[in-house]
Amino acid sequence: MSEERVGVYICHCGTNIAGTVDVEDVARWAGEQPHVVVARDYKFMCSSLGQELIEKDIKEFGLTRVVVASCSPHMHEKTFRGACERAGLNPFLFEMANIREQDSWATNDRKAATQKAKALVKAAIERVIHHEPLDPLQVEINSSTLIVGGGIAGITAALELANAGYHVYLVEREPSIGGHMAQLDKTFPTLDCSACILTPKMVEVDQHPNITLLSYSEVEKVEGHLGDFTVTVRKKARHVIEDLCTGCGECERRCPKRVIDNSFEAGLGFRKAIYRPFPQAVPKYPVIDTDNCLWFQIGKCRVCERFCPTGAIDYEQQDELLEIKVGNIILATGYKLFDPRRIPQYGYGRLANVFTSLEFERMVNAAGPTGGRIVLRDGETEPKSVAIIHCVGSRDRNYNEYCSKVCCMYSLKFAHLVHERLPEAEVYNFYIDIRTPGKGYEEFYHRLLEEGTHFIRGRVAEVTDAARQPGEEGKLIVQVEDTLIGKQRRIPVDMVILSAGLEAQPDAREVAQKFGLGCDANGFFVERHPKLDPVATMTDGVFIAGTCQGPRDIPDTVAQGAAAAARIASLISQRVVQMEPVRAHIDEDLCSGCRICNDLCPYNAIVYHEDRQVSEVITALCQGCGACVAACPSGAITEAHFTDEQIMSEIEGILWDVRPQGAHEAALA
Amino acid sequence: MSDNAYEPVIVGFLCNWCSYRAADLAGTSRLHYAPNMRVVRVMCSARVDPQFVLKALREGADGVLIAGCHPGECHYVEGNIKTLRRYELLKHMLTQFGIEPERVQLVWASASEGNVLAKAVDRMTEQLRALGPLRWQETVVQQDKRPVSTDAVVEEVDRG
Band of the pLDDT at A667, cuts 50, 70, 90?
Answer: very low
Residue A537 DSSP SS3: coil
Band of the pLDDT at B148, cuts 50, 70, 90?
Answer: low
A496 and A509: one domain? no
> Which of B48, B72, B147 lies closest to A513 in CB terms?
B72
CA distance A573 to chain B (A): 28
Cβ <8 Å between A626 and B43: yes
Single-letter amino acid, residue A62: G
Band of the pLDDT at A521, cuts 50, 70, 90?
Answer: confident
User: A129 or B159: whose pLDDT is higher?
Assistant: A129
The torsion defined by the Cα of B57, B58, B62 and B63, in degrees rounded to 10, comes to 0
Domain of residue A368, residue span? 336-502
Q: What mean pLDDT value characterizes chain A?
A: 95
CB contacts < 8 A, A to B, total 187
Task: Give the model's pLDDT for residue B155.
Answer: 62
Cβ <8 Å between B33 and A107: yes
Contacts of A105 in chain B (CB under 8 A): 27-28, 30
A88 and A215: one domain? no
CATH number at residue A613: 3.30.70.20
Does B4 reside within a domain?
no
A152 and A202: one domain? yes
Contacts of A504 in chain B (CB under 8 A): none
**Predicted TM-score (pTM) of this structure:** 0.80
Distance separating alpha carbons of residues A468 and A573, to the nearest angstrom: 70
Task: Give the model's pLDDT for residue A666.
Answer: 47
CA-nearest residue of chain B to A95? B41
A379 and A498: one domain? yes
A401 and A291: one domain? no
Cβ <8 Å between B110 and A520: yes
A414 and A476: one domain? yes
Per cent of chain A over pLDDT 90 is 91
Cβ <8 Å between A602 and B79: yes
> Which of B1, B23, B113 lies closest to A111 in CB terms?
B1
> Which of A518, A623, A629 lies closest to B76 in CB terms?
A623
Does B104 reside within a domain?
yes
Residue B68 DSSP SS3: strand
Peptide bond connecting A189 to the previous residue in cis, omega within 30 degrees of 0: yes
CA distance A94 to chain B (A): 15
Distance separating alpha carbons of residues A531 and A87, to the nearest angstrom: 31
A348 and A495: one domain? yes
CATH number at residue B71: 3.40.50
Does A283 reside within a domain?
yes
A206 and A275: one domain? no
Distance separating alpha carbons of residues B146 and A652, to the nearest angstrom: 23
Distance separating alpha carbons of residues A388 and A480, to the nearest angstrom: 12
Distance separating alpha carbons of residues A245 and B84, to the nearest angstrom: 54
Task: Give the model's pLDDT for residue A296.
Answer: 96
Cβ <8 Å between B43 and A639: yes
Cβ <8 Å between B42 and A642: yes
Cβ <8 Å between A526 and B1: no
A612-616, A617-621, A658-662: which has the highest mean pLDDT? A612-616
Does B5 reside within a domain?
no
Number of domains in chain B: 1
Cβ <8 Å between A644 and B79: no
Q: What is the ipTM of this complex?
A: 0.90
CA distance A342 to chain B (A): 26
Helix (H) or strand (E) holding A9: strand A6-11
A170 and A93: one domain? no
Residue A240 DSSP SS3: strand
CB burial of residue A353 (10 Å; 0-12, 13-18, 19+): buried
Domain of residue B90, residue span? 10-159
Cα torsion A636, A641, A642, A646: sign:
positive
Neighbours of A348 (CB within 10 A): 21
Number of domains in chain A: 5
Domain boundary among A487, A502, A517: A502
A658 touches chain B (CB under 8 A): yes
End-to-end CA distance of chain A: 24
Does A659 reside within a domain?
no
Q: What is the pLDDT of residues A283-332, one digit of tens each?
A: 999 999 999 999 999 999 999 999 999 999 999 999 999 999 999 999 99
CATH number at residue A360: 3.50.50.60
A464 and A345: one domain? yes
Closest CA to A540 of A32, A137, A23: A137
Does A653 reside within a domain?
no
Cβ <8 Å between A625 and B75: yes
Closest CA to A118 of A97, A141, A138: A97
Closest CA to A233 of A328, A142, A146: A146
Lowest model confidence (mean pLDDT) among A225-229, A658-662, B60-64, B90-94: A658-662
Does B126 reside within a domain?
yes
CA-nearest residue of chain B to A512? B73
A46 and A81: one domain? yes
Contacts of B148 in chain A (CB under 8 A): 667
Task: Give the model's pLDDT for residue A202.
Answer: 97
Helix (H) or strand (E) holding A28: helix A23-31
Q: Which of residues 74-133 of A touch B (CB under 8 A)?
A: 74, 98, 100-109, 111-113, 115-116, 119-120, 123
Burial A119-145 (b: 16+ CB within 10 A, else e): bbbbbbbbbbbbbeebeebebebbbbb
A201 and A262: one domain? no
Task: Give the model's pLDDT for residue B144.
Answer: 55
Cα torsion A35, A39, A45, A48: sign:
negative
Contacts of B21 in chain A (CB under 8 A): 74
Distance separating alpha carbons of residues A47 and A49, to the nearest angstrom: 5
Cβ <8 Å between A630 and B18: no
Domain boundary among A477, A502, A527: A502
A519 touches chain B (CB under 8 A): yes
What average pLDDT does this structure show over A371-376?
96
